[in-house]
Amino acid sequence: MKLAGQHVRRAVIGCALAVAGCGDGAPPPAAETPIAVRIAPAVPAGTDASLDITGTVRLKRETQLGFNTPGRIAAIGVLEGQRVGAGQVLARLDPTGLDAASASAQAEAVRTAADLKRLRTLGEQGWVTRARVESAEAGAVAARARVTQAGFDARLSRIVAPAAGVVLRRAAEPGQMVAAGTPVLVLGETGSGYVLRLPVSDADLAKLRLGQGAAVTLPALSPNPIAATVGEIAARGDERTGTFQVELRLPPVAGLRSGLIGTARLRVGGQGPAAGPVAVPASAVFAARADEGFVYVYTPATNIVRTRMVGVGPLGDRAVIVTRGLNIGESVVVSGVDRLRDGMRVAVAR
């Protein structure tokens, strides 16, 4: 029996060593595949009154760029849709006319300076009047100013990107004559962020306020809404349409481009994004107990979900009232909740 026990122990040790040896060469576990989920925005509770308005996505700052002086365009070094860096030269004028103007101004400055010197000498000798000398002095000053202006025009014969961005429009071509200030390029500054610009009637404008939340759907990107915030309300209406422009600040969602069409749903007469109870689909709330529960809040910029404890109010057939812990417009996961954990990356079903 003792000998048999030794054989058993040897067999167990041998198996353990064999398993350990196999483990050394085993490949590392594969990265987790993001779980497909559906999301829905938290909406104001207690009212179904809302506005659905269609607008256009724009960069917050879109600037028309032109030359400071008239001339013929020698080159435009960018195309529509091209990304550029701050300080990058985008276009330049033919320098021939500017060089000629600069040379003429410098020659005139030299001539007037020589005339002034000669007249001052004659004035000291009494051959010319003081008024004649003063006139020559004024002419010399004007000539020097023209030299400065010519140098200024030469320096501004190029269009330089004021900030990093994307070329939205190319309104002229090389060889074209342009006047001073004529738009040649339109640059959208990517650092300014994207907004959805909405035309709102005067009757509806009175029901909106800065900071109010909204759910925005961009069909070209996804059928799922994203959370936005009212960032700017025009103080003056458009004389042609009679509408007021309202800007919604959009989160940095992949695929955003100037010109996309989006539809915003705004609560009529709603409060700010963090005020009042909100409603979410019943499938979003889990581990509910007494007046508390949990939801997974989705972050579009990272595609990561975070667990959040919320206050739970009345429960309906399809919706739950969340009394605290969740803001209007925030997105919550409504499917596949049982397969998630805090900090997990997900793929939103489209």
Question: Is the Cβ–Cβ distance between 208 and 298 less than 8 Å?
Answer: no
How far apart CA 190 and CA 260 sit, in angstroms, is 15
In whole angstroms, what separates CA 32 from the centre of its chain? 31
Q: How many CB atoms lie within 10 A of CB 35?
A: 16
Question: Is the Cβ–Cβ distance between 326 and 308 less than 8 Å?
Answer: yes
Question: Is the Cβ–Cβ distance between 295 and 326 less than 8 Å?
Answer: yes
Q: For the whole model, what pTM was predicted?
A: 0.53
How far apart CA 83 and CA 104 sit, in angstroms, is 39
Closest CA to 340 of 306, 313, 310: 306
SS3 327: coil
Q: How many CB atoms lie within 10 A of CB 102?
A: 18
One digit per residue, the tens of pLDDT, for the chain of length 350 reads: 444 444 434 443 444 444 444 444 445 444 578 899 999 999 877 655 678 899 999 999 999 999 988 888 999 999 999 999 999 999 999 877 666 777 787 888 888 888 888 888 887 888 888 888 888 889 889 888 888 777 777 667 889 999 999 999 999 999 999 998 899 999 999 999 999 999 998 888 888 889 988 999 999 998 889 999 999 999 999 988 889 999 999 998 889 999 999 999 987 644 444 456 888 998 999 998 888 999 999 999 899 999 999 999 876 657 888 989 999 889 999 998 999 999 999 999 86
Q: Token pair of 84, please?
A: 């550029």
Domains along the chain with CATH numbers = 31-46+277-350 (2.40.420.20), 49-60+193-272 (2.40.30.170), 62-188 (2.40.50.100)
Specify the DSSP class assigned to residue 198. E
